[in-house]
Amino acid sequence: MTMLPGVTKSNTGIDGISWNILGQTYVPKQKSEDSMAWHATLPRGTFVPPHIHPTQDEFIYVLEGRFDLLLNGVETYAEPGDLIRMPMGIPHGIFNKTEQTIKCLFWVAPTRRLYDLFWGLHNLGPDANPADVVALSAEHEVDFLPPED
């Protein structure tokens, strides 16, 4: 899959796709074998628990709101205009602990199996069985870490 030239217009995704990923909205903007980018909206109180991408580097450019982060065991935060860098193999978790919605642009390189994972997670809903989410994610090269004691 080669990246095609063009413009993915505001408020739309490639092929009109918009995923509901456990209460967050992900809209794919670009996809090729080398990378994938998506716009994400994370309502207050939503998060992605600590996990590792063993085969991908991941980035987030914050457009609105504030992320609280756990990056390689260190707590930090990111605000509008900040770029979050998460190298492959480094544990990271992202959290919206504020009352404001977060809007951001994510991307990974290379794409690997993340696009397929998002289709698998799409519309599982807020009551999805965490064990099912963890197992499906592991099948797609995203490894969630066990909860801390």
Q: Walk along the chain (149 residues) and give the pLDDT tens digit of each residue.
A: 788 888 999 889 999 999 999 999 999 999 999 999 999 999 999 999 999 999 999 999 999 999 999 999 999 999 999 999 999 999 999 999 999 999 999 999 999 999 999 999 997 876 889 899 999 999 999 999 987 76
Q: What are phi and psi of 93, to 5 degrees?
A: -140, 145
Contact 91, 58 (CB under 8 A): no
Q: Alpha-carbon distance 88 to 55, whole Å? A: 6
**15-144 adopts what CATH topology?**
Jelly Rolls (2.60.120)
Burial of residue 53, with CB atoms counted within 10 A of its CB: 0-12 exposed, 13-18 middle, 19 or more buried: buried
Domain ranges, ordered by start, for the chain:
15-144
Q: State the sign of the Cα–Cα–Cα–Cα dihedral 68, 125, 128, 53.
A: negative
